[in-house]
Amino acid sequence: MSPIKVLTGIAVLVLVLFLVPGVAADYTFVMKLNSHGNEFEEFASPVSVAISPTGCIYVLEQEGGNRVQKFAPDGDYLLQWGSNYHGGSDDGDFSYPSQIAVNSSGYVYVADTGNYRIQMFDSQGNYLRKWSSWGAGTGEHFTNPRGIAIDGQGNVYVADGGVYGRIVKFGPGGNYIGEWGPLGSGITQLGVDGDGHVYVADAGANRIQKFDTAGNELSWGPVSFARFGPRGVAADSLGNVYVSDTGSDRIRKFDTYGNDITEFGSSGSGEGQFNYPQGLAVNSAGTVYIADTSNGRVQAFSEGPVASGSISVTSSPPGAAIFIDETDTGEVTPKSIPKAPGTYRVYVRLAGYEVPPLQFVLVERGKDAVVDFLLTAEPPAPTGTLRVTSTPEGAEIFINDADTGKKTPADIDGAPGTYTVAVGSLAGYITPAPQSAVIESGKITSIDFRFQAGGRAYVTSTDEGGNPYPGLITIDGHDTGKLTPAMLDSIAPGHHHFIVRDIHGGSAMVWGYFGSAEADIPVFGTTDVNVPLKYVEPLMTVMTGCPVDLAITDPKGHTVSGLNNEIPGAIYFEYGPGADGRPDTMVMIPRGAETGEYLISVTPRPGALPAETFTLTVFKADGKIVLADNVPISEIPAEPYHVIVGGTSPVPEYPGGAIPAFLIILMAIAVFTLKAGRD
């Protein structure tokens, strides 16, 4: 071979490597849309894909779906329309539709094959119009409209298959312009490139045909496809042509003349694999979307390295946190962030400024997408004023249990809302209860506290020998939490009942020291109250958890309750408050009292609700008995509880003294068994 021929061959090879896109990088899987099914965000039989000018993804389903689903550029489900599953013929319904297309204004067109028509919708799926009907395959009448594509001028091309196989051209408004053919009955979907060239996928003849806008056939290929393909065709902004070679479950890419560039895919259900792929679409960033029909999904692929673009985010003022697709990037403006080709949702946040509307940003390979945010300062938060006064003045102010650091009188600004306001104690006065206050924007809400003058009591306690003996102090049924000796402040003037106790309990008995005293407390005065204690080891102790009252009757008919005491030496006192804010009750029957059957009556306290629960426990020498354990008020027995004092059984007795039927049956069985054994 001559040196000239060798050099010529090398030169040709170099030109091929540099000028023919067949050496393009492999395609990388980007994402997939959902799984097989016919619910929202699922696909029964996706056959076609279209991309809107804003990057939204429209997916057309055929049998089992008969609907359009719309997704955001990142794959989030947005909406759907159509007749679903069985199909229909009303406006907006579909019957075996074959291809979907979107024009530059965002209007959606569907080739509604089974209804022999083209339907047009807005971007929200609202029906706008339809044209054409079934006919002899001439003019505006279709026999099998299977493909649809729209050029840059808004002209609509329809592939009408059937016997004739033709391409019909309509104006943007649906007016008939012309047609060409016949092309054969196997034509399926259409594609249009940026120069207006129309590409026809002819599955019947296993070929792609290329035409100009007037219907003149142009040279393309030749290309060999597998059996049953091709069924989908699309073109990108560079004029490259993508074909779904359905019979071989792969996607093939060609230049505008039909020269092979690359291919990807294989048979299967994994990422990057296909099962009967059909419709394709390419967005402005070069991402290819494929309707993977028999796998019930849509897959997207990007050419070359994934991270090959960036987003530059700026804001005025700068320093705003950057969020992309709802995720905090950890960066602040201004900042350039590398991203894979695709469409992203971007927004920023800056303290003291309103969050601006998010922006959709298209990242293209090798390019930097710039997005800027003009931030608006937040308006001042609405406030109102809470004016707190008291008589006398000088009380500390608490709002929602928090110390404000201020004393009455004071004005406190706050956001509108409802608050709980309380004041601290003042020496010699009874602290008033907290109050609820509502702050309204731009208004002054006044709240006043009136302190009632009170007295003090110095409480001591002594044992039976007169020696000091400490015990827990209760005033009028409320525990003070203090042990004697103690000075108690802010006691309301008047007559009060003091109890001091040092009570201990075991598994069966309660014992300890107990005493009570009465005293009158004057205004601003101090009263010494000594409570003599007596050691008690009762015959029986009854304790209950709120919200009930007790009345206990001894075998002679004498009763002790909160209202009267007919049993000598019996002690009835309340302490607490308990879990519901009400005091609990303890009743002690002294040793030396009557033995035998005692009746314990339980009645709800005023205000108790049916669903509230109570407990009832009895302590006696032969054991502890739990008569009620969190029993609802609505289930208090009509008959009193019966307790035997002085017996030997710690088993709880039943209301009314009745023995349950199941115990009688068991006793009868036992007697019968013993008798049978003796016989």
Based on the domain organization, do 566 and 617 belong to the same domain? Answer: yes
CA 381 to CA 44: how far, in whole Å?
Answer: 51
Based on the domain organization, do 108 and 208 belong to the same domain? Answer: yes
Handedness of CA 126, 131, 135, 136 (dihedral sign): negative
User: Whose CA is closest to 60, among 119, 13, 3?
Assistant: 119
The answer to whether position 171 is within a domain reads: yes
Q: Looking at residue 258, which CATH number applies to its domain? A: 2.120.10.30
Helix (H/G/I), strand (E/B), else coil: 350: coil
The percent helix, strand, coil of the chain (3-state, each to 5) is 10, 50, 40
The answer to whether position 663 is within a domain reads: no
Based on the domain organization, do 221 and 273 belong to the same domain? Answer: yes
Query: How many separate domains does the chain show?
Result: 5
Tell me what pLDDT residue 16 has. Answer: 36
- Provide the residue count of the chain: 679
Based on the domain organization, do 516 and 599 belong to the same domain? Answer: no
E strands along 335-468, which residues? 335-339, 342-349, 359-363, 368-374, 384-391, 396-399, 402-407, 410-414, 417-423, 429-430, 435-439, 444-450, 452-453, 455-462
The answer to whether position 169 is within a domain reads: yes
How would you classify residue 254: left for phi > 0, otherwise alpha for psi between -120 and 50, otherwise beta?
beta
The answer to whether 422 and 434 have CB atoms below 8 angstroms apart is yes
Based on the domain organization, do 437 and 583 belong to the same domain? Answer: no
The answer to whether position 650 is within a domain reads: no
The answer to whether position 630 is within a domain reads: yes
In which residue ranges of the chain is pLDDT below 50?
A: 1-25, 648-679
Domain end marker among 535, 568, 602: 535
The residue to which tokens 């339809």 are assigned: 130
Tell me what pLDDT residue 624 has. Answer: 87
Tell me what pLDDT residue 667 has. Answer: 40
Tell me what pLDDT residue 580 has. Answer: 62
User: Is residue 91 exposed (0-12), middle (13-18) or buried (19+ Cβ within 10 Å)?
Assistant: exposed
The answer to whether position 471 is within a domain reads: yes
Domain end marker among 351, 374, 397: 374
The residue to which tokens 């960033």 are assigned: 285
Tell me what pLDDT residue 640 has. Answer: 94
User: What tens digit of pLDDT does each residue of 482-516 get?
Assistant: 899 998 877 888 888 888 888 776 655 667 888 88
User: What tens digit of pLDDT does each residue of 181-235 get?
Assistant: 988 888 999 999 999 999 999 988 889 999 999 999 999 988 888 766 799 999 9
Q: Looking at residue 403, which CATH number applies to its domain? A: 2.60.40.1120
Q: At 462, which amino acid appears? A: T
Q: Hey, what are 406's tokens?
A: 């201020």
Phi and psi, residue 247, nearest 5°: -65, -25
Q: Looking at residue 495, which CATH number applies to its domain? A: 2.60.40
Based on the domain organization, do 43 and 63 belong to the same domain? Answer: yes
3-state SS track over 49-102? EEECCCCCEEEEECCCCCEEEEECCCCCEEEEEECCCCCCCCCCCCCCCCEEEE
CA 61 to CA 293: how far, in whole Å?
Answer: 9
The answer to whether position 131 is within a domain reads: yes
Tell me what pLDDT residue 38 has. Answer: 58
Q: Which domain holds residue 176?
A: 27-283+290-303
The answer to whether position 41 is within a domain reads: yes
Based on the domain organization, do 81 and 51 belong to the same domain? Answer: yes
Tell me what pLDDT residue 649 has. Answer: 37
Based on the domain organization, do 130 and 146 belong to the same domain? Answer: yes
Tell me what pLDDT residue 673 has. Answer: 41
Based on the domain organization, do 407 and 487 belong to the same domain? Answer: no
Based on the domain organization, do 74 and 209 belong to the same domain? Answer: yes
* Total-model pTM: 0.48
Domain end marker among 400, 425, 453: 453
Based on the domain organization, do 60 and 99 belong to the same domain? Answer: yes
Based on the domain organization, do 216 and 344 belong to the same domain? Answer: no
* Bridge partners (DSSP) listed for residue 282: 288
